[in-house]
Structure 1
Amino acid sequence: MSVRVWRGVFGSLVLSALVAAPAGGATFPGVPVGEGTGQGSRVRATPLEDAGVLIAAARAGTAGIGFGPCAAVEQLPSYVECGTVDVPVDYAEPLGRQIPLTVSRVRAGGPAAARQGALVYNPGGPGGSAMYFPKASRWPEWKRIAGAYDLVGYAPRGVGRSAPLSCQDPADFTKSPTQAPTEPSASYKQERIARAKAYARGCARHGGADLRHINSLNNARDLEVLRAGLGEDKLTYVGSSYGTYLGALHAVLFPGHVRRMVLDSAVDPAPDKIWYRNNLEQSVAFEGRWADFRAWVARHDATYGLGTTAAGVQHSYELARARLAHEPAGGKVGPEQLRSAFLQAAYFDDYWPRRAAALAKYLKGDPSALIAVAAPDPEEAVEEENGNAVYTAVECNDAPWPTDWKVWDRDNTALARRAPFETWANVWMNLPCAYWSAPRQQPLDVRTAPGVLPPLLILAAERDAATPYAGSLELHRRLGGSVLVTEQDAGSHGIVGGSNACVNGHVDAYLLEGRTPVRRASCAPHPQPDPVSLDQRAVERERALPPAV
């Protein structure tokens, strides 16, 4: 790598950073690579990258973020303002080509004397955008926090209008109907291998030399630059799902710039879990959450008529799968679209009543409700493909993956025998990483001793499937001085600002006053949906309407 001479204030920053950095660059300790895992070429942080963060943050702090009206494409209300902050494509070349990250904000609504700064949110993914987050200022659960903080969202690198990445034509990516065999044949597996290879080639072709720079370490560095651009000495942050891993990386890399962090539904940050083994464990957890949903539907058989036992509900689901394989609903909803719709129910129990009702109506001959919840929306195709492209790039770049299909086939064939609902779909989503051309990183060993960081608040639902509870326990163990709040016997993914008043009380106390439980706390689960009461409320609303004329 060539060394560029930087002058002025940026030059003095890079010089001091180079003097302070250890010879040979910073290394990220990881774990031994397991059997069949291709190591590929590895990316290491260098003194130039460490210095590059200082340069980019100093520049952002000087320039600030010029907020103004949001672009119409963001579809945000007029009370939200938008701007951009520049981050380097490559932190080893901090004065080289820049990516303008789009940022959204609503100012704190309370008295000026009560303002505590900016609160930055990342919803996870990777590949998710938080540009919508300022709208939370109008939600009751966020009212007190929105009075004290500017609510700030942003689109990470590669996402939305932040130098968007695409790997495939969006229309092809969302093409339907498609199959979803739980026991794929050898020929089907070969077809999916070919598709994974083509997708990886598409990412390499469209991403070019920039592709390697879409990774979690750069996302954490970008977060540090955003902090500076907002004029904050220290970061106050809420991250959900993948956003917890991003927040943890930032905390380990920049511990002196952390004020408060809420890490909600945590990814297991152990280097040997990033990301292949995390996905295996996720498939197991989804099977458990799918069982929770079926048990709930069975308890409400009087409403849905899908079976009085979880096994009976499974039979109804399989009957729908078989029918859709033969004749897709509306020509759009096949077995894969059915699975995807019910996967959403495994994320959020708010989805349970509508999904169960759609399945019941379909089996009785009315496909309209199922089409409404399961058919791809052409207007969302670009956003969905973009999100998947960034997800793939980050996960493939972050860590070694098995490069031998036999390893994937062995591990997931065994797993699918006890977790058939999501296992193979998870494989197909991640399989491009087996054929990835960009260099791989060795994951950072996320770990801090007590006293290095202020207390960080970790939130977790015990039966969360997308980020299994064990991951929150591991993150709590690794971040010295962190505090864990558990919603017991519940499984919604992402519980901050949800329907559990106990959880929200802990978040409010932490963000507004800096108060936390001593080390751990538990909250009773939020109530599961009640379709009877939902139906009753619908009747009451209808009665309250004026008569039709």
Structure 2
Amino acid sequence: MRAAALYSAAGALLLSSLSLAPAGNAGAAPRTDERHGTAVAAARAKAAGIAFRRCPKEQGLPGNVQCGTVSVPLDYSRPYGKQIRLLVSRATATHKDPHNSKRRVPGQGALVYNPGGPGASGVQFPLIGVIPAWKRLAAAYDLVGYAPRGVGPSAPLSCQDPKHIAKGPSLAPTFPSEAYKKERVERAKAYARGCAERAGSALQYYNSLNNARDLDVLRAALREEKLTFMGASYGTYFGALYAHLFPQHVRRMVFDSAVNPDPKQIWYHSNLAQSAAFEGRWTDFRDWVAKHDDVYGLGVTADEVLASYEKVRARLAARPAGGKIGPGQLQEAFLQAGYYDDYWPSRAQALSAYLKGDAKPLVELASPVTEAAAEEENTNAVYTAVECNDAPWPTDWAVWDRDNTRLARVAPFETWDNAWMNLPCAFWQAPRQKAVDVRTGPGELPPTLILAAERDAATPYEGALEMHRRLAGSVLVTERDAGTHGIAYGPNACVNGHVDAYLLEGRLPGRRAACEGHPEPKPTAADKRRHKTAAARRP
């Protein structure tokens, strides 16, 4: 937590010394304390700024969004060693009041956003300013997104050839056989080996602490004395690390769908808790489908809806739909309904149509996006590297087998699928870190805002309570009896009002506030959007 003071006191000295720094690689450069290394990098970034210009064509961004890069050390203990470049995007504040065209809105600097992951890119974030709910923020703030280290154009990480990513059909047994478990263990070992071989010694530097340090370098490059930040899902975790490391550099922070920062939870137990919570959300979905049996005909109780789902699983195992939709693809499509309840109608309609002989809606929803294979591989690689590097994991397969076998008895929907996603961490070949005990004391950190839905499965509600306990002066806003993952500027006007008041005026409610849950979706099949399967399991 000393980096802020070090930077402010020694900034000029650090700047004057940069021209004398050796230009060698990370291994050859001299070592220093990471706090000092962050201060060096921040001073350098502040001096250089960011040269914003037209964005790379492959990003598909319009002319009002500009891009640039910021250099950060691969290893903060060697700030003069190897540098990597992070792609940054920005839409400058419009200064136009959406409710009063004659009023010019004063600027409040940059609002930096991270969508989570690990492995998700925020480069597209500035586009959100055209959405009505975001226009007030877009008037006051420069909307800034970026691709974190390892993601997309920012020193991309890879663990396997994208052409080897399973394109379907695949299995997803709820209670896997010993033979299937053995196969998945071997696949996990091969994946961990591929990460080590492709990334080499650099692999260990893709972690949450470095993501937090990178965020401070980005703040300095934007020439912001204090950071205004909104993080969703995993973005709340390294946002909390930032608050812990650099509390003096915080202006305002929004933690949307907070990860549990307890070091005992990072990340093995966090994933077990997530799997348990998904069982409750899976029940919520089935209860909703049962209430609308007149529309879908899948059963009048949650158990009857489950029987319909299992019937589809069995048929797909015997004969994949469209030659590419097996139980694995079905699982991925319906897992998305655990994240976002506006996906419930399209999932229910697809299931209903399939049982009536029409597989097309299910094929449309669940087919792998082959043209996104490289992006999916990169997302998986960053997710795995960050989570495996952040903390110790059980290295004995027997522990994983015991814990997930027990959990699957009461939470079968997502347990084993989540275990396979994270199992490479059992065989990880890079050094592990000790998870940080995130805490801030009274008066150390400006007031921050935490948002949480009570029935969120991806980041269970207990995590928001723990974040609230650990960040002194924070305020928790709860969306009652709701489970959508990521609630800022969604359908709940009460939640949105609290976010607006905080980011635009610095006003917060009492230490805890509650909003009634948003209405359940109506039983239509209008929403046929899909999330990329690579991002489906992310916190």
Query: How does 1:236-251 map onto structure 2 within 5 Å?
Result: 236-251=228-243
Amino acid at match of 2:14: F
Query: How does 1:386-425 map onto structure 2 within 5 Å?
Result: 386-425=378-417
Compute the displacement of 1:368 (Å): 0.9
Give the 3 Å change call, closer, same or farther, for CA 11–141 of structure 1 in structure 2.
closer
Bigger mean CA deviation after superposition, 377-386 or 107-116: 107-116
Contact 1:115 1:147 in 2 (8 A): yes
Bigger mean CA deviation after superposition, 382-391 or 485-494: 382-391
Contact 2:395 2:426 in 1 (8 A): yes
Compute the displacement of 1:47 (Å): 5.0
Q: Which residue of 2 aligns with 1:516?
A: 508
Query: 2 CA distance for matches of 1:125 and 1:113?
Result: 33
Contact 1:80 1:105 in 2 (8 A): yes
Q: Which residue of 2 aligns with 1:85?
A: 70
Q: 2:167 aligns with which of 163, 167, 175?
A: 175
Compute the displacement of 1:10 (Å): 2.7
Q: Which residue of 2 aligns with 1:187?
A: 179
Contact 1:450 1:481 in 2 (8 A): yes
Query: 1 CA distance for matches of 2:480 and 2:382?
Result: 33
Compute the displacement of 1:75 (Å): 1.5
Query: 1 CA distance for matches of 2:167 and 2:91?
Result: 37
Q: 2:246 aligns with which of 230, 250, 254?
A: 254
Query: 2 CA distance for matches of 1:390 and 1:439?
Result: 16
CA deviation vs aligned residue, 1:255-296 (integer Å, no higher than 9, x gap): 100000000100000010000000000000000000000000
Identity %: 66
Compute the displacement of 1:457 (Å): 0.1
Amino acid at match of 2:313: R
Query: 2 CA distance for matches of 1:190 and 1:74?
Result: 40
Query: 1 CA distance for matches of 2:242 and 2:370?
Result: 36
Q: 1:106 aligns with which of 65, 82, 91?
A: 91
CA deviation vs aligned residue, 1:5-59 (integer Å, no higher than 9, x gap): x999437789xxxxxxxxxxxxxxxxxxxxxxxxxxxxxxx85211110111111
CA deviation vs aligned residue, 1:117-174 (integer Å, no higher than 9, x gap): 0000001111110111001100111110111000000000000100111111222223
Query: 2 CA distance for matches of 1:354 and 1:117?
Result: 40
Q: Which residue of 2 aligns with 1:319?
A: 311
Q: Which residue of 2 aligns with 1:307?
A: 299
SS of aligned partner of 1:263: strand
Compute the displacement of 1:80 (Å): 1.0
SS of aligned partner of 1:221: helix
CA deviation vs aligned residue, 1:360-385 (integer Å, no higher than 9, x gap): 11111111110111010111111111
Q: Which residue of 2 aligns with 1:53?
A: 38
Compute the displacement of 1:433 (Å): 0.2
Contact 1:13 1:54 in 2 (8 A): no
Q: 2:14 aligns with which of 10, 25, 41?
A: 10
SS of aligned partner of 1:485: strand
Q: Which residue of 1 aligns with 2:226?
A: 234
Compute the displacement of 1:449 (Å): 1.3
Q: 1:292 aligns with which of 255, 260, 284?
A: 284
Bigger mean CA deviation after superposition, 111-120 or 196-205: 111-120
SS of aligned partner of 2:84: strand
Query: 1 CA distance for matches of 2:254 and 2:490?
Result: 14
Q: Which residue of 1 aligns with 2:537?
A: none
Query: 1 CA distance for matches of 2:490 and 2:282?
Result: 21
Give the 3 Å change call, closer, same or farther, for CA 328–235 of structure 1 in structure 2.
same
Q: Which residue of 2 aligns with 1:340?
A: 332
SS of aligned partner of 2:413: coil
TM-score (norm: length of structure 1) = 0.89
CA deviation vs aligned residue, 1:282-321 (integer Å, no higher than 9, x gap): 0000000000000000101111111111011101100000
SS of aligned partner of 1:522: strand
1:371 aligns with 2:363: yes
Query: How does 1:26-65 map onto structure 2 within 5 Å?
Result: 47-65=32-50
Query: 2 CA distance for matches of 1:7 and 1:338?
Result: 54
Query: 2 CA distance for matches of 1:47 and 1:479?
Result: 29
Query: How does 1:67-82 map onto structure 2 within 5 Å?
Result: 67-82=52-67
Compute the displacement of 1:450 (Å): 1.7
Q: Which residue of 2 aligns with 1:444?
A: 436
Detail structure 1 runs of 4+ shifted over 3 Å in the superposition: 6-9, 11-14
1:495 aligns with 2:487: yes
Amino acid at match of 1:183: F
SS of aligned partner of 1:413: helix
Amino acid at match of 1:91: Y
CA deviation vs aligned residue, 1:63-90 (integer Å, no higher than 9, x gap): 1111111111112222211111000111
Amino acid at match of 2:469: R
1:118 aligns with 2:110: yes
Amino acid at match of 2:348: A
Amino acid at match of 1:448: T
Contact 1:64 1:229 in 2 (8 A): yes
Q: Which residue of 2 aligns with 1:483?
A: 475
Q: 1:158 aligns with which of 150, 170, 179?
A: 150
Query: 2 CA distance for matches of 1:392 and 1:78?
Result: 34
Query: 2 CA distance for matches of 1:140 and 1:406?
Result: 51
Q: Which residue of 1 aligns with 2:353?
A: 361
Contact 2:392 2:432 in 1 (8 A): yes
Contact 1:235 1:258 in 2 (8 A): yes
Q: Which residue of 2 aligns with 1:3?
A: none
SS of aligned partner of 2:129: helix
Q: Which residue of 2 aligns with 1:507?
A: 499
State the aligned residue count: 500
Query: 1 CA distance for matches of 2:114 and 2:453?
Result: 18
Query: 2 CA distance for matches of 1:417 and 1:373?
Result: 29
Structure 2: unaligned runs, 5 residues or longer: 1-9, 19-30, 97-103, 529-539
Compute the displacement of 1:248 (Å): 0.4
- After superposition, the CA RMSD in angstroms is 1.8
Query: 1 CA distance for matches of 2:339 and 2:44?
Result: 40
Structure 1: unaligned runs, 5 residues or longer: 1-5, 15-45, 539-549
Contact 2:158 2:195 in 1 (8 A): yes
Contact 1:398 1:440 in 2 (8 A): yes
Amino acid at match of 1:90: D
Q: 1:199 aligns with which of 167, 191, 195?
A: 191
Contact 2:32 2:78 in 1 (8 A): no
SS of aligned partner of 1:100: strand
Query: 2 CA distance for matches of 1:395 and 1:290?
Result: 25
TM-score (norm: length of structure 2) = 0.91
Contact 1:13 1:55 in 2 (8 A): no
CA deviation vs aligned residue, 1:413-451 (integer Å, no higher than 9, x gap): 000000000000011000000000100000110011121
Q: Which residue of 2 aligns with 1:19?
A: none
Q: Which residue of 1 aligns with 2:534?
A: none
Q: Which residue of 1 aligns with 2:377?
A: 385
Q: 2:344 aligns with which of 352, 355, 358?
A: 352
Contact 1:69 1:80 in 2 (8 A): yes
